[in-house]
Amino acid sequence: MSNTPTPHIGAKAGEIAETVIMAGDPLRVKFMAEHYIENPVQFNNVRGMLGFTGTYKGHPVSVMGHGMGIPSIGIYTYELFNFYGAKTIIRIGSSGAYHKDLHIGDLVIAMGACTDSNYASQFDLPGTFCPIADYDLLVKAVNTCVELGYNYKVGNVLSSDIFYHDNPQTEKWVKMGVLAVEMEAAALYMNAARSGKRALALFTISDHLITGEATTSEQRQNTFTNMMDVALSLV
C-alpha cells in the first residue's frame, strides 16, 4: 500500500473498495456513479480517468475508467490489484459481435479471452496461456441474466490490439466459435491470475461485424445499462 498514490491513480490507500467495476469510457463510469452508486466520492481524475467510491445496497464498491486497449487496462488493473488491495475487478464495455445469433443490446459474458496481443510474453511461459474468468463470478452473472430475463451468451471473446486492422481476418475467429471482439479482457484476466485475484468481463453488443448492425457513441455511453445491473449484482 506504500506505493499509493500511483502515477496513474490519485487515490490514497483505503479510498478504493475491494470490488471495482471498470469501463473503458470514464463518462460511462460517471453515469454509473450518478445513477447507481450511493454517496459516491471521487477518488481519481488523473488523466481524466474518473473514479468514484460509494456503496450499492449497503456494499462498498468503486467504479473507475480503464481507457482503451490492453496497455491501458493493464496498468490500471495492475495498480488496483497490487497497490490498492482490490480483490475483484469487473469490466463492463461494448463489443462487436461475431456470432450470428447476437444482436444489438445482447450481453456477452467472457468465459475466456483470446488475444492477438503480446501481453503474456512478460510471464515467460513455456507455452500459450489461456486467460479465463473467475468461475463464481461467471455463474452469478449468468444467474442474474436468467433472473432478469436478459439475452446473453457465454463463451470466448477476442481481445484485439488493433481497432483499424490493415488485414482483418474475422472469419478465422468466427469459425473457432469466438462470440465477439473487444480490446481489454485478456489483460484483465492475466493480471487477475498473476495476482491471485478475481475478474470477470461482460459486454453489450454495440455493433455486428458480420451483419453491419451499429449504435451511436451516445447510445453506448448512456443506454447500455443491463450490463451494469449484472455487474452490480456481483458486489
Q: Which one from 116, 161, 207, 229 is the annotated catalytic residue? A: 207
DSSP-derived pairing of the beta strands 152-159 and 180-182: parallel
Active site residue 207: yes
Query: What is the distance of C-alpha 49 from the center of its chain?
Result: 15
Task: Name beta bridge partners: 132.
Answer: 112
Catalytically active residues, by annotation: 207
